[in-house]
Amino acid sequence: MILLEFQPFHNMKIFEEYIESKTGYRIFIRSWVPEIKPKINILIVHGLGEHSGRYKNFAEKFENKKVGIYSFDLIGHGKSSGFKGHIGNFEEFIDATEDALIYVRKQNLDIPIVLFGHSLGGLISLFFLIERESREIHSSIISSPWIKTAVKISPLLIIFQKLLKNIIPMMRLNNRLETCHLSKDERVVNEYENDKLVHNKISLNLFSEITNAINLVLEKSDRIKIKTLLYHGNEDKIISAEGTKNVSEKINKSNFHLFNNVYHEPHNDLEKNEVYNKIFEFIQIK
């Protein structure tokens, strides 16, 4: 574990470290840890093309809340190993999430862990909760999960993907993300566009694995037994809130919230204080 010398927070220490995934990948983890023992730890699973470093502002909101924030770079993202925008199978994401969860648990053996997933990370988190049913997770927060895209994907592109994914699975396409749809905050958009760790790639195989994972989550979300907050912005032009609502209705202990006039990244939008207050209320911290 490396303690960073540059310290932008007054009451938190920042750590960076690599861990070895059980599938052989090097996984990069960032930690924002309070000076005193935390009441809760949050493990963040980020979205497609981004990385853990984009959650520094998220961590800052918890600076005086006695909450530890941990985030890791997904395989093929940020500083973790792997071909950018590609995965062999979805279980590799799930294994990496479990490895990160074990890492967090080792830091504090008796502190509740909240699993937070955004966009693709929301899908990964839901899949993880269904397939692994980990007792280490106290509750979960799912932000704008990739269940249903807001823009209809071309049928020709789907046919193209199905025909070629077994022949050239690592072939990558542009993910066609309109960065202005992430947030109404121009600073957030500019930082995203100039972030060298961000990429815009998605392989044919990754798209196929995401599609299969979505189908599984839609079919088996009723297996999720822990308390779960799902939220979405009603102006999300990337991922539709309808999919989030559908999943929420299948989870017994779920709370679904739709934020008015909010884009794809609620935690980074102009209404972010409303979003964080909802999170604080859910995890019961002041």
**According to the model, what pLDDT value does residue 100 have?**
97
User: For the segment 138-186, what is each residue's pLDDT rounded down to a tens digit?
Assistant: 999 999 999 999 977 766 667 767 777 777 888 888 888 999 999 999 9
Nearest 5°: phi and psi at 124? -60, -45
Residue with more model confidence, 108 or 3:
108
Dihedral angle sign, alpha carbons of residues 125, 126, 130, 133: positive
Are 161 and 201 in contact by the 8 Å Cβ rule? The answer is no
**According to the model, what pLDDT value does residue 7 have?**
55
Place of tokens 């985030």: 71
User: For the segment 114-140, what is each residue's pLDDT rounded down to a tens digit?
Assistant: 999 999 999 999 999 999 988 899 999
Residue 73 sits at the vertex; the CA angle it makes with 69 and 74, to the nearest 5 degrees, is 125
Are 105 and 135 in contact by the 8 Å Cβ rule? The answer is no
First CA to last CA across the chain, in angstroms?
Answer: 30
Place of tokens 């980020």: 46
Cα 141 from Cα 211, distance rounded (Å): 21
CA distances from 83 to 20, 51, 186, 201 (A): 16, 14, 30, 10
**According to the model, what pLDDT value does residue 158 have?**
72
Cα 36 from Cα 24, distance rounded (Å): 34
* pLDDT above 90 as % of the chain: 80
Buried/exposed code over 145-160 (b: 16+ C-beta within 10 A; e: otherwise): bbbbeeeeeeeeeeee
